[in-house]
């Protein structure tokens, strides 16, 4: 009897596994929906956007004498603008330490202090290309 029950469980598990891994997958069909519209005043060009769970942040690049970090609420209304003084290429939010990071033209990563309207280098020479964006998986995941 024990052997029959064991064989039944093995057969059931094998059948269930085959169905879970061999079944035809159907693509998910979704229509894109514009949830909010963000309008930056950009002197050179937008380069990146991130969300911290409460606000959206955009960063502009192209010149270190004009680089603004813009903060928006979840409805797309501008909350504040910060002059960062960096030639930005990407911005991201790290949920582990609740901080914003900026990758500039070059190889460095900066952490942002919004109250001081400043950024400080936290990682030197960590990117392969000057004009690249952040691959957050390789930094903190």
Residue 72, strand partner residues: 56, 78
Q: Using the structure block, give the residue that is written with the tokens 């010149």.
A: 63
Domain assignment present for residue 34? The answer is no
Q: What is Dmax (Cα atoms) for the chain? A: 80
Domain assignment present for residue 133? The answer is yes
Condensed to tens digits (0 to 9), the pLDDT of residues 85-125 reads 888 888 999 999 999 999 888 888 999 999 999 999 998 88
Enclosing domain of residue 54: 45-140
Lowest mean pLDDT among 50-59, 64-73, 104-113: 64-73
pTM of the shown model:
0.69
Instruction: Indicate the number of domains in the chain.
Output: 1
Domain assignment present for residue 23? The answer is no
Residue 53 CB partners (closer than 8 Å, separation 6+): 93, 95
Domain assignment present for residue 10? The answer is no
């Amino acid at each position: 009897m024990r052997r029959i029950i064991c064989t039944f469980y093995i057969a059931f598990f094998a059948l269930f596994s085959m169905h879970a891994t061999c079944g035809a997958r159907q693509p998910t069909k979704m229509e894109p929906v514009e949830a909010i519209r963000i309008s930056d005043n950009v002197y050179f060009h937008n380069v990146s956007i991130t969300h911290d769970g409460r606000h959206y942040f955009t960063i502009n690049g192209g010149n270190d004498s004009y680089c603004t970090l813009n903060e928006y609420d979840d409805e797309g209304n501008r909350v504040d603008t910060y002059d960062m003084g960096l030639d930005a290429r990407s911005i991201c939010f790290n949920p582990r330490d609740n901080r914003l990071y900026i990758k500039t033209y070059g190889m460095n990563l900066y952490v942002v202090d919004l109250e001081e309207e400043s950024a400080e280098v936290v990682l030197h020479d960590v990117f392969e290309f000057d004009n690249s964006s952040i691959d957050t998986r390789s930094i903190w995941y």
